[in-house]
Structure 1
Amino acid sequence: MSEPGGIKDYWNGLSPEARKAAKWGAVGALIAIPVPFVGPIIGGVVGGGLGYAKAKGKI
């Protein structure tokens, strides 16, 4: 049983754009892990942008 204010409540309260941006940002960061230091940062930014664009219907 989850407590009020838990991660599920937080995740369910996010907009669809934020959910997709977070999900794709995490995927981009995981893919870019082999590149030291800047890889995960750039991957997260690119993945988050891709998720946001998909949520807005631009892709």
Structure 2
Amino acid sequence: MPRRHVEHLKAEDGPTSRQSGADDVVVKLGTWLDNVRKRAAELPEQRRTDPDALGIRW
């Protein structure tokens, strides 16, 4: 996944939704994954295995 990859998620009504009235939530998934890759050696074992369980290629 390229670093510039973003996901646009539909905001849902609930305690975690933003009150700004925006319909979409933008998640910078590529940036997050790149940061996790760079810090992989510092992460606990569980945090390193979670992406594997989701089928994400490191």
Give TM class, smaller chain. Answer: under 0.3
**1 or 2, which has the higher strand percentage?**
2
TM-score with structure 1 setting the length: 0.28
**1 or 2, which has the higher helix percentage?**
1
TM-score with structure 2 setting the length: 0.28
